[in-house]
Amino acid sequence: MKKTFVSPGDIRRNFSAAMSEMYCEEVPDYQTVIDLVKQVNDDVLEQNKGTMAIDATTQEIHGAIRLGKPSELSMMRRLFVVLGMYPVGYYDLSVASIPVHSTAFRSVSKEEIKYCPFRIFTSLLRLDLIEDAELRKKAASVLEDRSIFSDQLIDLLNVFETTGGLEESEVKLFIQELVKTFEWNVEANVSKDLYQEFHDAHRLIADVVSFKGPHINHLTPKTLDIDKVQDLMPEVGLNPKAVVEGPPKRNVPILLRQTAFKALKEDVSFQNDAGIWSKGAHTARFGEIEQRGIALTPKGQKLYDTLLAKAREVVTPNPDGSNRGEYENTLETVFTEFPDDLNSLRQKELAYFTFERANDGPKISFPLGKDTMETYLAEGNIQARPIIYEDFLPVSAAGIFQSNLGDSQGQNFSENANQAEFEQALGTEVLNMHGLYEAMQQQSINAL
């Protein structure tokens, strides 16, 4: 009898819902975020009734995890294939004194992203960036001894890889076991003294090494007005980070803007060598919100990076938010150099678009040169639609991490990208995000 497999999209969608349910139970403030974002989105849609052709459902767009050793990253890659999620992009966070490098496991087709956009930003600890050799050795020893995946989960993965899919009953158990991997475990993996050693070196080292698994450290719904969410968070009892990360507010949103409520202090139990348990605390988990805009070409990305650096040379946002207004004004002023209308973004080749032929328009003549395309666009025979950015920004990711690690970071790390080492641990090359956007754009042109 032929087996009936559940599609990766359905598995991903069910997994996303299960993760949200779990996180709302474990971090009740996250439910407050969900409710606030829904309220803001409803308000924006009401104010723009009939003019916003955008999916504004309040669903999780992404989560984030931190892994400790290469074998964990390799296994996670195999597990995410079951959900139709693949590693896209390489992010070096050592540029901002965060001892990790990362990728985003996500869907790669327009149809799959639309069906369920959930993705996981996944970081791997850089043990090589821990200067203290003895501490590095201790961290490696702790990580070597831990196993974060259940036997049932690995068995189901083997079934998937052998048969090419999972049936409904298998999917239910797979999701259950995968969600368990990301649950909070109050019992630390190390003594309180060793935890403190890791913590003093860098809080993120303590977060990755000291626990039995890679607890999800945040989930992220999308909003239509991130500035309004930022302003309203204190009114619903949430403590927001100082500023919204990413580009300033614009007529045409670009890339990604993110904010978050600051991480909560949570109870932890530590066991010493004599087997005696003691109470402690750890700060790691928070709730994030994002707003996405158009994807930029390498030329557009370079301009964005240049302007962001220019703004931060003038004023760097303080962790306490005391210069938020100054920073936001500076950012807006500097970014006046970045075109803020769709035609300019397209004509200057700063952003990616898909192209559709008008239903009643004439047949498109090929080859389609730039001038001919502009004529078709001007006459309305072809319509250009912005491609939404589906990836992440290293400076923004680091800003979110830092706001939840505290003002004192411990050891500083210089820029030290190592994509080859990351891909070796991963077991494959990461996909090039610009290649994906370019292919999406070209495919739409070929289909005219």
Picking from 211, 216, 214, the residue whose alpha carbon sits closest to that of residue 268 is 211
User: What was the pLDDT predicted at 52?
Assistant: 55
pLDDT tens per residue, range 221-251: 999 999 999 999 999 999 888 889 999 999 9
| Residues 31 and 74 occupy one common structural domain | yes
| Residues 40 and 168 occupy one common structural domain | yes
Question: What token pair was written down for 185?
Answer: 């475990």
The CA angle 240-242-244, to the nearest 5 degrees, is 85
Cα separation, 78 vs 59, whole angstroms: 25
pLDDT tens per residue, range 350-361: 999 999 998 777
CB under 8 Å to 246, separation ≥6 — which residues? 255, 256, 257, 258, 393, 396
| Residues 126 and 224 occupy one common structural domain | yes
Cα separation, 366 vs 448, whole angstroms: 10
On whether residue 323 sits in a domain, the answer given is: yes
Number of compact structural domains in the chain: 2
How many other CB atoms are there within 10 angstroms of residue 363's CB atom? Answer: 8
**Angle of helix 70-82 relative to helix 419-426, nearest 10 degrees?**
60
| Residues 305 and 163 occupy one common structural domain | no
pLDDT tens per residue, range 66-123: 999 999 999 999 999 999 999 999 999 887 778 999 999 999 999 999 999 999 999 9
| Residues 152 and 179 occupy one common structural domain | yes
Entry pTM = 0.91
- Assess whether pLDDT exceeds 90 at residue 403: no
| Residues 41 and 145 occupy one common structural domain | yes
On whether residue 443 sits in a domain, the answer given is: no
Distances (CA, A) of 34 to 18, 24, 84, 262: 15, 9, 25, 15
| Residues 174 and 129 occupy one common structural domain | yes
User: What was the pLDDT predicted at 93?
Assistant: 87
| Residues 317 and 285 occupy one common structural domain | no
